[in-house]
Amino acid sequence: MAVDAQSFKEALAQWASGVTVVTTLHEGEPIGITASSFSSVSAEPPQILICVNKRLFTHRAIEEQGTFAVNILGQEHLEWGKRFAGMIPEIEDRLAGIDAASAVTGCPVFTGALAWLDCRLIHAYDAGSHSVFIGEVLAAAARGEAADPLLYYYRDWRTLTDA
Ligand SMILES: Cc1cc2nc3c(=O)[nH]c(=O)nc-3n(C[C@H](O)[C@H](O)[C@H](O)COP(=O)(O)O)c2cc1C
């Protein structure tokens, strides 16, 4: 018998994570969601994973497009994290005002992000409510020095404090 939903949520809420915005294209138009289920998978060849809810439009778009980009947010990007999570409903164009470029796949990469990874979808695993998307990293860029990452922990946005 599986764990009850409340215990599952309470356990996962204790897991601190970084915050990304995953972007893709739908009929040439850029779209994206806030996602914290991001992980490195393989160094050689370079692969990462994201988990995306099957109910989201972005899920279908990634499957159809076969490409996506992961933008790692800093604490100065809190508003991006909120807007790509649908928490600022008055914003219709989530990309508005964000400096974005295209690397290999054409999916938007945010020039102001702490880092970005441009990916080709190579595996999609069914995982209950979500799909696990494995991406081969075709291009990446990063600030190259320590910054202030945006974090998510216990249902709230956080910043890092040195231990
Ligand atoms: C901090 C944070 C992390 C999230 N991580 C994920 C994630 O990893 N996968 C996912 O499918 N949704 C995740 N979400 C929820 C999506 O961002 C949200 O459902 C989506 O932006 C809604 O998009 P829509 O308004 O286009 O449906 C996260 C939300 C927040 C606030």
Residue 79 CA to residue 87 CA, distance in Å, equals 9
- The closest alpha carbon to 93, from 105, 113, 108, belongs to 108
- Pocket lining: 54 vs ligand 1, CB cutoff 6 Å: no
Q: Measuring from atom 27 of ligand 1, which residue has the nearest CA?
A: 56
CA of 51 to the centre of ligand 1 (A): 10
CA of 132 to the centre of ligand 1 (A): 14
Angle at Cα 39 formed by Cα 77 and Cα 48, nearest 5°?
A: 105
Q: Judge whether 28 lies within some domain.
A: yes
Q: Judge whether 77 lies within some domain.
A: yes
Residues in CB range of 130: below 8 A, 6 or more apart: 37, 51, 52, 53, 54
Question: pLDDT tens digits for 59-96?
Answer: 999 999 999 999 999 999 999 999 999 999 999 999 99
Q: Judge whether 155 lies within some domain.
A: no
* pLDDT tier, 119 (very low <50, low <70, confident <90, very high otherwise): very high
Is the predicted pLDDT of residue 146 greater than 90, yes or no? Answer: yes
Q: Judge whether 148 lies within some domain.
A: no
Helix (H) or strand (E) holding 123: strand 115-127
Is the predicted pLDDT of residue 30 greater than 90, yes or no? Answer: yes
Q: Judge whether 8 lies within some domain.
A: no
CATH of the domain at 118: 2.30.110.10
Q: Which atom of ligand 1 lies nearest, measured to the CA of 33?
A: 21
Best probe residue, ligand 1, of 12, 36, 39, 59 (max atoms within 8 Å of C-beta)? 36
- Pocket lining: 53 vs ligand 1, CB cutoff 6 Å: yes
> The dihedral of CA 15, 17, 19, 24: what is its sign?
negative
Cα torsion through 9, 15, 58, 72, rounded to 10: 160
Q: Judge whether 146 lies within some domain.
A: no
Q: Judge whether 54 lies within some domain.
A: yes
- Parent domain of 61: 18-141
**Number of domains making up the chain:** 1
- Pocket lining: 85 vs ligand 1, CB cutoff 6 Å: yes
- The closest alpha carbon to 154, from 12, 39, 7, 3, belongs to 12
Q: Which atom of ligand 1 lies nearest, measured to the CA of 34?
A: 17
| CB hemisphere CA count around 37 (13 angstroms) | 13
* pLDDT tier, 1 (very low <50, low <70, confident <90, very high otherwise): confident
3-class SS of residue 102 = strand
Q: Judge whether 3 lies within some domain.
A: no
